[in-house]
Structure 1
């Protein structure tokens, strides 16, 4: 027997709401986990169209290396909007910082430009398969110019978050090494030699190498994700990050913030410990004064014969 009808509708109609009956899905339902939210990077516009970097704020460096990196990174690092960007410029290298350049693999083969800009190291960010095939490398050009060459190999964008610290350390180690060679007296030299310069490159100069440049700026100058991307994009307009790359950089920035928080906590604890130690030293000094008074009192009775007041 068929089920009774309610208000002229059968049982199948009664199982759906009015909204469901008069709407049609635009796509098929998906049961996968939701995608991460989109990270929008607005262009610099209006009155504030420049980003000026602060002094060096790297982590986990010795005093000498911090001083050297502070000298190297204190150049005129200001990103200004470039309205004259042309499509052909994507094939050339651009100075992101006074000591850090970014470009495609074709730019890393332009020997004349590399010589004119004073590049001292070619650092390629490449896929591990490309590394095995020896397709992308700056070793030959570096050998012709008498400069250094390095490589950071990753099997995918997900490995970049682990490769960022290695790339940053590679850049800083080269800067420090060349600076010491050119300035034997260190930062106290009366006239400092030319600053060493590193060129980051990948196939296009717009993805992995650009991500390393953004990560370096976040780690070195304590810039946030959006500002760091804006800074690099102002210098090389053609960089392109998908949401996966942006979230990889966001996760790296969160790791940097956590490390800075731990460092600040340790520094605060060390300061409190030093103050406590100082107070204990002052207390010990006071005890020493009391002991000296007791020694003076004993000296007054030295040399006297023993006297027993009662038998």
Structure 2
């Protein structure tokens, strides 16, 4: 019982985030640490190698609209590892299809001791949607909990309506994947049992013939 209560309190504290941060308008042009080794912000930060190195950034997810490719782009490939995703800030844009690539890149970076900076142009809609998806799955949260966690660290985020709908959809997807991965042996036993039953049925048919 105590373990459940402790876990619930840990989750609340995680979602709430630091309480001593006073949000200022100019902070939307900066970046904020969402989870350990995972940062979110605007592309302005990505233009300064010195700033990113001071934060310990090693990997960058550059999310941009194709119309912005001339300005929102990897600038220091000799210093940082990049993943560039072309995404439209449109309610029709499919993020779920693109997310696995971003998740794998972030997972690999954090597992190797690196720090990841995820950005789009303003750090308001596109990149926050990806980060909310990542936080949701990494911390096993609902889409609303993950959204609040990110908002409590970067107050200015506002994913468009289509992205919010996909966040809701992704919660069901990741929970289903988690359930399947949690019982691999049981699923395998079911398959083997069906196979044995089919073989027994075939044997009975041969015998009766």
Shorter-chain TM-score above 0.5:
yes
Which residue pairs with 1:165 in the alignment? 100
The alignment status of 1:113 with 2:44, answered yes or no, reads no
Q: Tell whether the 8 Å contact from 2:95 to 2:166 is kept in structure 1 after alignment.
A: yes
Which of 134, 139, 143 is residue 225 of structure 1 equivalent to? 143
Question: Deviations 1:233-275 (Å, cap 9, x if unpaired)?
Answer: 111111112332211111111111222222234343457899x
CA contact (8 A) 1:160 1:248 kept: yes
Aligned equivalent of 1:261: 179
Contact 1:82 1:234 in 2 (8 A): no
Aligned to 2:4: none
Structure 2, unpaired ranges of 5+ = 1-8, 194-209
Q: 1:85 aligns with which of 23, 40, 54?
A: 23
CA displacement at 1:130 relative to structure 2: 3.0
User: What secondary structure, in the 3-state scheme, does the structure 2 residue paired with 1:160 have?
Assistant: coil
Q: Which runs of 4+ in 1 moved over 4 A?
A: 47-50, 270-274
Residue 225 of structure 1: CA displacement?
0.5
Q: 1:82 to 1:209 in 2, by over 3 A?
A: farther
Q: Determine if contact 1:119/1:198 at 8 Å carries over to the other structure.
A: yes
Q: Distance in 2 between matches of 1:128 and 1:221?
A: 31
> Which of 38, 42, 52 is 2:14 aligned to?
52
Query: Are the counterparts in 2 of residues 121 and 142 from structure 1 also a CA contact under 8 Å?
Result: no
Question: More helix by proportion, 1 or 2?
Answer: 2
For residues 189-217 of structure 1, give each alpha carbon's deviation from its aligned partner in whole angstroms, at most 9, with x where no partner exists: xxxxxx31010000101111111110111
> Is the contact between residue 124 and residue 137 of structure 1 (CA under 8 Å) also seen in structure 2?
yes
Aligned equivalent of 2:121: 203
Q: Tell me: higher relative CO, structure 1 or 2? Use CA pairs within 8 A at least 6 residues apart.
A: 2
* 1:201 alignment partner, SS class: strand
Contact 1:105 1:201 in 2 (8 A): yes
Structure 1, 155-164 or 165-174: larger mean CA deviation: 155-164
- What is the RMSD computed on CA atoms of the aligned residues? 2.7
> Which one has the largest radius of gyration?
1
Alpha-carbon distance, 1:98 to partner:
1.4
Q: Is the 8 A contact 2:83 2:102 kept in 1?
A: no
- SS of 1:94's partner is strand
Distance 1:237 1:267 in 2: 43
Task: Give the secondary-structure state (helix, strand or coil) at the position aligned to 1:226.
Answer: helix
Q: CA offset at residue 110 of structure 1?
A: 2.6
TM-score (norm 1): 0.53
Gap runs ≥5 in structure 1: 1-46, 54-77, 180-194, 277-311
Aligned residue pairs total 183
Whole-Å separation in 1 of the counterparts to 2:184 and 2:107: 24
Paired residue secondary structure (1:199) = strand
User: Structure 2 length normalisation: TM-score?
Assistant: 0.76
- Cα gap change, 1:148/1:51 in structure 2, threshold over 3 Å: closer, same or farther? same
8 Å Cα contact 1:105/1:204 also seen in 2: yes
Do the aligned partners of 1:50 and 1:80 also contact (CA within 8 Å) in 2? no
